[in-house]
Copies of this chain bind each other. A is one copy, B any other.
């Protein structure tokens, strides 16, 4: 196999209570990439459409993730990468993670899968380091593993796949305002109260239990964040209204996707999710803020081959 065309899913990180540890992959929104073996050593971004992003390897997340893989491979050649960005950069639904994990997943396929998934996560994390200054794994893990994933630990890196209930759907709205991941990290406090910590790990436990037992009410009750959401939501005009309207429309829960500005909601069933997406849209229509919306099943497979 000399080239591969793949779908790289958008992802929701944090998921309310699971700050820095939980993430989930989406089915109906993601980038497309073509990755091609070339004789010359190195990573070459030969095409990048859909977003205005750097194409030089060292400044491109797919480039640096690819270089991390190459550094540990005995492959003597290189790769050309074409990226069709359908996920907007800075949207908070794992745009950089889709590119960086797609690059290393595709390269691994073309090399005959020498690296296990956990190594691919590590390579892709280098893309995240470039994008946000922090080599976080909560978007690249679900992009690579599919479904819900838990980053149990960074040292050593330990990714735990979590069951994805079959009737769970996500609504996502991306208001067209800029919130940089690095800025949205800066405003977080270094310390939290033990009391808030206890509430947070109670909810993380409840969410994981709800996902395994497919208890949608428990999932909803656990989608609570006392620590990050109260601070970060200030950066997202309309957040409280979107959340209130989503819950009113039947969503199980609603929160900030990653570091924002996208807002996600989970619902049981496609119809409710569509209704939630509609109600989210109305809020930004009223505010005259441009937005994108997505309604999506959970993607349980992760990155997928489109054509070889």
Contact = CB atoms under 8 A, between A and B. Distances in A.
Interface of A: 17-22, 150-153, 158, 160, 162-163, 188-210, 212-213, 218, 221-222, 227
A150 B17 contact: no
A194 B232 CA distance: 15
Contact of A151 (B17, B152, B202): B202
Contact of A190 (B194, B199, B201): B194
B227 A197 contact: yes
A194 B206 CA distance: 20
Contacts of A210: 160
A201 B22 CA distance: 10
Contact of A193 (B151, B160, B190, B200): B190
Contacts of A200: 197, 201
Given A158-B206, A160-B218, A206-B158, A201 B17 contact: yes
Contact of A221 (B152, B197, B199, B212): B152
Contact of A189 (B158, B190, B194): B194
A162 to B, nearest CB: 6
A21 to B, nearest CB: 4
Contacts of A207: 205
A202 B21 contact: yes
Q: How many copies of this kind of chain does the complex include?
A: 2
A153 to B, nearest CB: 6
Nearest to A208: B208
A219 to B, nearest CB: 11
A216 to B, nearest CB: 14
Contacts of A218: 152, 160
Contacts of A22: 205
Given A158-B206, A194-B192, A199 B18 contact: no
A227 B158 contact: no
A300 to B, nearest CB: 16
A214 to B, nearest CB: 11
Contacts of A193: 190-192
Contact of A194 (B198, B205, B227): B227
A152 B205 contact: yes
A209 B152 CA distance: 10
B202 A205 contact: no
A21 B150 contact: no
Contact of A199 (B153, B189, B209, B222): B153
Contacts of A204: 201, 204-205, 208
Contacts of A198: 19-21
15 contacts: A17-B201, A18-B201, A19-B198, A21-B205, A152-B206, A153-B199, A160-B206, A160-B209, A160-B218, A162-B205, A163-B212, A188-B194, A191-B193, A204-B205, A205-B208
Nearest to A212: B212
A19 B221 CA distance: 20
Nearest to A196: B197
